Structure 1
């Protein structure tokens, strides 16, 4: 009798655009379950490769693919890996991304392309020049089940972002910051590719776009200068050695770009680790060569390995040097919270996706959303 007289459950969910490293660690460990860190990373990379393949077939711009990858990472900070097939989550993330980036596609269109990517044996039998599968030739029951599954996961994804469709990506900042630093063209191009690759990691969930952009330029300068002789640069450009040296130390640039050196070092380690993983997996496709490339570069043919700019030993030596000279990382807590995991209590996470009670979705962190009320 007492339970029936209880007031309906009510709660508020706040959109946190960026998470601190301690939050990411806490949430990742919770949702990883019995999976190992290596298994989690392998599934993450498989999902990102699937999204690259989908984006390449459809011709989505880079912003749509990158946002879908970011949404996939965010989803599995709140929902367990074991409960979902990565292709289902990735497909729903791409569907939400098309809405956020104004590149709309119907669920049936996405499903048709996904079948061609997931089942190449079916794509080989189709008469369509691009290998697209005619969805009307498939079992309608299976198609409808997959469509319903996509829409169900879409709802969960929307809850993880609190229905906040505001989005910013780092790509425009890479170009602007590179010009501001007078970076050589080769450094700017490599930085853009690294910014693309950063969406295969959790970096964009932890740092704002301008910091990711500057971190990508820092890593590009490191890779272009480490164990390399000084080259003659154009008088109007700053050498990669000088850029790497400047961004490796505290200075006026931190106030100018609203970044801190320890953030760039954290981004550098994550990107160098990703490059190292790519070297260990020959099947990994390189990132696009130019900002106009919608998807990964065309894979090499049989007997023709993909060219790499750096070897594993060189990357290892670079990481060792960075570790020996790195700065102490500052403590980052959520807005208005002293406890880094206070915004993600276990009971709050468990309420995502449920229909029990009333949930208010706020577009900003607690300290921001409550200040105007």
Structure 2
């Protein structure tokens, strides 16, 4: 009879899907996966990846939900996997591919690759117009890229525990804007800021409705802080206060504790942190528009309207019509009037690692909901 006492049982573990992490956890996990890169280099790579996702999405005509979810998946991926081990092109494409499955806008990997080649290598795309729009690439290169895309796709699927649920802030911006009697122009600005927020890791820590509130709060600040930053709708709102809330009134409401927190299930500390991270992106873009590979903010919040080309110079100039010094002064003002960040319970330590993900070893049980350590 065979002796099985010396045989080792295959490894196994259970992995829970955690929709959100505390800001502290995001910082700790990001630092671990950053490796030898500086924070500036990490941010540059993040913006390059988000810009690539934006450009591919605009070229194919994906709805905003597909683009935004892909950007969120990219941020989440590098909480668990080192940046040095993956090209941002591969991760961005895989994130788009998974997002198309989540939102039923599916495209084949080869289709995504061909569009990515056209975006990344415009000079080759110009020479390949006679080939039906496809870039003339070496078949071996295309196949190798396709295999890498599928390999990263597997890691992303296991990372999210095959949970295809995705909640986005855009519908909440419209509904909450109406509930707060915000003007249409301010709501439109908040919608654009919600788009921009997906270029930051803020989506890893806060639910969609809080991001919507944070963007409405920031839109109100941008429209009321200084005369040079006042949007055209703020003046008209003051003459029609019976119908609309002025930007300054929205700042007064959302900038302090009140019944609105219970009504919208949000905390003033959270929406202020969301506003901080979003205005940081605006400051970087205003100081150096080339810091992002494509301009932030679409031209319209309507998903049925076509997006402007991602490389449009005119769009880049109109997306953030604020000067860096104005934004910095607003940032200082926000710091002076902010509430202390609230403490959030940490994630269970055993849930942080990647364990057996991406390996054909042992057994992994994927669970859609968080365990006892979830929030």
TM-score, with structure 2 as normaliser: 0.90
Equivalences for residues 26-65 of structure 1 within 5 A: 26-65=28-67
Match of 2:297 among 278, 284, 287: 287
Q: Do residues 231 (structure 1) and 235 (structure 2) align? A: yes
Deviation at 1:299, TM superposition (A): 4.2
2:366 partner SS: strand
1:11 partner SS: strand
Aligned-partner Cα distance in 1 for 2:266–2:152: 35
Aligned-partner Cα distance in 2 for 1:358–1:342: 20
Equivalences for residues 245-324 of structure 1 within 5 A: 245-283=252-290, 284=292, 285-292=295-302, 293=305, 295=307, 299-301=311-313, 306-307=317-318, 308-324=320-336
Deviations 1:166-189 (A, max 9, x none): 111111110000000010111101
Deviations 1:293-335 (A, max 9, x none): 5545554459x971342111111111111111211111112xx
Equivalences for residues 91-130 of structure 1 within 5 A: 91-127=93-129
Deviation at 1:350, TM superposition (A): 4.2
Aligned-partner Cα distance in 1 for 2:277–2:287: 16
1:349 partner SS: coil
Aligned-partner Cα distance in 1 for 2:321–2:351: 41
* Distance change >3 Å, CA 301–CA 9, structure 1 → 2: closer
Aligned-partner Cα distance in 1 for 2:316–2:168: 31
Aligned residues: 358
Equivalences for residues 185-200 of structure 1 within 5 A: 185-200=184-199
Match of 1:336 in 2: none
Q: Do residues 363 (structure 1) and 368 (structure 2) align? A: yes
Aligned-partner Cα distance in 2 for 1:55–1:321: 36
Aligned-partner Cα distance in 2 for 1:146–1:297: 25
Match of 1:203 in 2: 202
Q: Do residues 86 (structure 1) and 97 (structure 2) align? A: no
1:157 partner SS: helix
Q: Which runs of 5+ in 1 are unaligned?
A: 334-338
Deviation at 1:341, TM superposition (A): 5.6
Match of 1:133 in 2: 134
Match of 2:248 in 1: 241
1:207 partner SS: coil
Aligned-partner Cα distance in 1 for 2:130–2:296: 27
Contact 1:288 1:294 in 2 (8 A): no
**RMSD of aligned alpha carbons:** 2.2
Deviation at 1:243, TM superposition (A): 0.2
2:15 partner SS: strand
2:289 partner SS: coil
Contact 1:286 1:296 in 2 (8 A): no
Aligned-partner Cα distance in 1 for 2:236–2:75: 41
